[in-house]
Amino acid sequence: MAIKALNGLGWYAAGLIVAPGCYLVSSMVAAERTHVEAVERAIATARKDIRQLETEFDTRANLAQLERWNGEVMRYTAPTPHQFLASDSALTSLRALETEGVAERYAAMVVPEGVPDAVAEAAQTASAAAAVPAVAEKVAANKVVAGKVAAAVVVKTAPAAVASKPQLTAAVAPKPAKPAVKTQREEAVAMLDRSLLKDSSFGDLMKGVRAEARRAR
Amino acid sequence: MAVAHVRLMILALLFAAAVSVIVGRLVLLALFAEPAAATSVNAMLVPLRGDLVDRNGAPLARTIDAWSIGVRPDKVIGDKSELARLLAATLPGKSATDYAKLLNSDSRFTYLQRRAVPELVAAVHALGEPGIEFAREPQRLYPQANLGAHVLGYLDFDGKGVTGMELALNRQLTDPAMRGKPVALSIDLRAQAALESELGAAMTSFTAKGAAGIILDVASGEVVAMASLPTFNPNNIKGSNPEHFRNNMTQSVYELGSTFKPLTMAFAIESGVASSMAKRYDATAPLQVGGFRIRDDHAQKRWLNIPETLVHSSNIATARIADELGKDRMESMFRKLGFDTRPDIELGGKAAPLWPKYWARTTVMTTAYGHGIAVTPLHLASAYAAMVNGGVWRPATLRRIEPGKAPQGRRVVSEATSARMRQLLRLVVTHGTGSKADAPGYRVGGKTGTAEVPGAGGYKRNQNVSTFAAAFPMDAPRYVVLVMLDSPVGNAQTHGFSTAGWTAAPVVNRVIMRTGAMLGVVPDETRDVDVADVTPLLWKAEPKNKAKGAAAATPIVAPGADE
C-alpha cells in the first residue's frame, strides 16, 4: 500500500527531473537556430555590402573612365596581327625586334589623334620600306656609324623623321634596342610612366595606408 | 439564489469561451503561421528588380539602395530663408530663392535629391533640420552611364521600364520568382564601348548630326553592340534632351543607297540572271527611264561586269541588272529579307519601312541601288548577315543565346551565292570604294553607301547619310559591322569628301581593329578569302592597300643579328 503510494511519488519525481531536461534541449535547439539565423543574416548583409561595393567600383571605374586613362595617359593601342602567333613554333621563331617597326604602322590608338587613317599610313610605310636600302645607304655615308645598325634604326622610323632629325638617329644608334626616334609627347608619357611606377611609389602607398589605419584606430 | 447561480454560470461560460478563443488562436499560430524571419533573410538578397548584365556577366543595370533626401515644409522649425540659403550651398542645382519657394509651398513632401551620395547626406544632415528626412530607397543604377543607353532604356518614377530592354523585359525583371537571377543581354560591354567611342570621335571630327552603329553576330543574330549618337544618361533622365532618346538603329528609316547593291547582286546570282561573273552591262552613258535619269558617281563610261559593277559602285549597271530581274523577283527577295515589316528585335517603338506603294519599272531600278525604299539600319545589318553566313536570315536579338541554340531562320539565298557574295564584298574593300575599311589581318569585306537626305522639294545635294556595311573575317564570317553617319561634313583629312568611303569606312576599320580580337577573331595576314577566280575580271584595278605583307616581306636585319 505504502509502496503503491510511493510509486506515484516516483513518477512525479521522474517527471520533475525529465521535464526540465526536455525543456533545456528544446531551448538549446532554439538558441542554436537563432544563432544560425543570425549568421545567415550576417552573410546576407555581407553579400549585400559586396554587391554595393562592386556596383560602386564598377561605376567609378566605368569603361568611359578606363578609356580615358588607356588612351590619354597610357596611350595604349589595339593589338596588331603580328602580336598573334599561331603556334609554339611561331613563338620560338619570333624575332620581336624585326617586327617592331612593322607593328607600329597599324597601331590604332585607343583615343584617335591626328590622322586616324591607319591604312594610308600603312601604304606610306610600305613604299618607304621599299626605299629603305637607299635611304640607309645615304645615312650611313653621311654619318660615321656602323652601317648595319643604322639600317636597322632607319627601318624602325618614318623616313620623314629621319630626314628632319638625322643627328638624333645618330645619337640613338649605339642603343638600338630602344625605339629610335620618339616624339616629344611620347617621351613625356614615358616619363609619366616612370613617375607612376617609381620604385619608391609602392613604399609611399603603404606608408599612406599605415597612416590611415593609425588614424582610424 | 437560483438567479445568482445562473448569472455566475453565464459569466463563467463567457470567460471560458474567451479563453478558448485565445488558446485556439495560439494553437493555429503555432501550427500554421509562417516564421517571419525565414523569408526575410532570402528576401534581403533578391533585388526588387532583376539585374541586367552583358554577355560576359558585367553589370549593365542594377537596383541599389540609394539615399534620398526629402523635406516636409510644414515640419521645418528653423528660419526658412536661412535654411534655403544653406540648402543652396550644400545642394547646388537650385538657387536659394528656388529653395525658399519650395519651403514656403504647401506641399506635404518634396524630394530634394534622389540617389544622393553618403557624403551629401551627411552634409545635409549636419544642417540639423528635423523637417528634412532621409530614406534609403531602391533605385536603378546604370554603372556605365551613357554606354548602351538606347539598348538598356530607362525606368519611370514608379520603377517601370519606359524604353529599351527595361521595357521589353519588364515582366521578367519584376517577377518575384525570376528577378533574383540577372538577365544576360547579347551585348558585349567592351565592344559597345569601343563602338561608341569610335562613333563619337567620327561624329566630332566630321561634325555629323548623328551617328549609329551595330555589331551583329552573323550566325545567331545576337546584337553584340548597338549604339546611336547623340545619346543620353539613363541615370539622369530629367537632365537629358528628349530628342536623344531616339535610337536611330531601329527607330529611324533611311534610304541607304549603294549598300543595297550587293543585295541586288545576290538576287541576280541566286535567280540565275547573273549567270556568269563575266556578264557585262552597259554603263557607257546615264540611263534614261521615263522621266528619270540614272547616273554614276564614279562613272567608268564602259561596259562593266558583275564584280566591276560593285567595285566601282555603278548605279547604271545595277539598275540594268534589276530591270532584268524584274518587279516580282526584286519584290519577293526584299520581302524575304523582311524589308516590308518592322525590324525584328525586342526593342519597342520600331520604325516601319517606307515600302514602295507601287512597283513601277523605275522603282525596281532605283530600289536596286537603295533609293525609293527606306529601311532601318538594323534591317540592312540583318540582310548582310544573311548574305555572308551561308544565306540564312535570322531575326536580330538582344538576349544572349547559348551556343548552338540559334534560331532556325529562313533561307534567303543559297550557300553558293553566299560564298560568291563574300568574294565580291571583299573585292570592294581590296580594290574598290571601301579600301579605308581594310583593317589589317581581319579580312574585312563590305560596301559603301552614300545617300542624299530627302527633304522638302527633293534630295539635298549637300547633306548625305554615309553608311558602311561590312562583315569580317570574310573567309569565315563572324560579325557584321554597320556604321552610319548622318550628314557628315568633309574635313582636311578626307580632302573635303563626305562620302562613306572617306567617313564611315575608317570608323569600321578602327572598330574592327579594336574589337575584333576581343570578339574572338584572330587577325591573320596570311589568310584571306580566295578571290583568284574574280580578280582577272577587274580591268585595270589594282589592290588599294598594297601594304599588306609587303613591308613584312622586306628583309630587315635585326641589330646585332650577325654579331
pLDDT tens for B393-414 read 999 999 999 988 888 889 999 9
Q: Please, what is the average pLDDT of chain B?
A: 86
Greater pLDDT, B474 or B552: B474
Tens-digit pLDDT profile for residues B38-94: 556 666 667 788 899 999 989 999 888 888 888 888 888 888 888 888 888 888 778
- Segment A196-214 mean pLDDT: 63
CB B471 within 8 A of CB B388: yes
Quote ipTM for the complex: 0.71
Locate the chain B residue with the closest alpha carbon to A48: B45
Q: Could you say which residues from 124 to 163 on chain B have a Cβ atom under 8 Å away from some Cβ of chain A?
A: 141, 143-147
Return the percentage of chain B with pLDDT > 70, whole number. Answer: 93
pLDDT at residue A124 in the model = 43
- Whether residue A48 and residue B509 make contact (CB cut-off 8 A), yes or no, is no
Is 90 exceeded by the pLDDT of residue B467?
yes
| A136 inside 8 A of chain B by CB | no
The pLDDT confidence band at residue B555, using thresholds 50, 70 and 90, is very low
Q: Residue A204: is it exposed, middle or buried by C-beta count within 10 angstroms (0-12/13-18/19+)?
A: exposed
**Sign of the C-alpha dihedral, residues B3, B9, B15, B17?**
negative
- Whether residue A79 and residue B523 make contact (CB cut-off 8 A), yes or no, is yes
- Segment A97-125 mean pLDDT: 52
- Segment A182-197 mean pLDDT: 47
Residues from chain B that touch A86, judged by Cβ atoms under 8 A, are: 524
Is 50 exceeded by the pLDDT of residue A94?
yes
pLDDT at residue A134 in the model = 40
Q: Which residues contact A44 (CB under 8 A, 6 or more apart)?
A: B41, B42, B44, B45
Its pTM stands at 0.75
pLDDT at residue B42 in the model = 63
- Whether residue A122 and residue B514 make contact (CB cut-off 8 A), yes or no, is no
Tens-digit pLDDT profile for residues B226-281: 999 899 998 888 888 888 999 999 998 999 989 999 999 999 999 988 888 888 88
Of A145-154, A207-216, B483-492, minimum mean pLDDT range: A145-154
Greater pLDDT, B351 or B563: B351
pLDDT at residue B461 in the model = 64
Return the percentage of chain A with pLDDT > 90, whole number. Answer: 8
Is 90 exceeded by the pLDDT of residue B8?
yes
Q: What is the rounded CA–CA span in Å between residue B172 and residue B183? A: 9
pLDDT at residue A114 in the model = 45
Tens-digit pLDDT profile for residues A77-93: 888 887 888 788 888 87
- Whether residue B525 and residue A81 make contact (CB cut-off 8 A), yes or no, is yes
| B64 inside 8 A of chain A by CB | yes
Tens-digit pLDDT profile for residues B305-346: 899 999 989 999 999 999 999 999 999 999 999 999 999 999
Tens-digit pLDDT profile for residues B134-159: 888 888 889 888 899 999 999 988 88
Return the percentage of chain A with pLDDT > 70, whole number. Answer: 47
Block residue for cell numbers 588599294? B544
Is 90 exceeded by the pLDDT of residue A35?
yes
Q: How far is B546 from chain A (nearest CA, A)?
A: 6
Is 90 exceeded by the pLDDT of residue B425?
yes
pLDDT at residue B127 in the model = 85
Which parts of chain A are beta strand (E)? none
- Whether residue A108 and residue B45 make contact (CB cut-off 8 A), yes or no, is no
Of A174-188, B108-122, B244-258, minimum mean pLDDT range: A174-188
pLDDT at residue A196 in the model = 45
Per-residue CA distances from B277 to B66, B269, B273, B484 (Å) = 64, 9, 11, 30
Q: Is B138 left (phi over 0), alpha (psi -120 to 50) or beta?
A: beta
β pairing state of B183-184 and B52-53: parallel
Q: Inter-axis angle of helices B96-104 and B80-90, to 10 degrees?
A: 130
Q: Which residues contact B200 (CB under 8 A, 6 or more apart)?
A: B211, B229
Residues from chain B that touch A99, judged by Cβ atoms under 8 A, are: 552
Partner-chain residue, chosen from B143, B441, B547, that has the shortest CB–CB distance to A125: B547
The count of residues in chain A is 217
CB B310 within 8 A of CB B384: no
Active site residues of B: 258
Q: What is the rounded CA–CA span in Å between residue B450 and residue B464? A: 6
Is 50 exceeded by the pLDDT of residue A182?
no
pLDDT at residue B337 in the model = 92
A-B CB pairs within 8 A amount to 147
Q: What is the rounded CA–CA span in Å between residue A145 and residue A149? A: 8
- Segment A17-42 mean pLDDT: 91
C-alpha torsion angle, residues B458, B462, B465, B470 (rounded to 10): 130
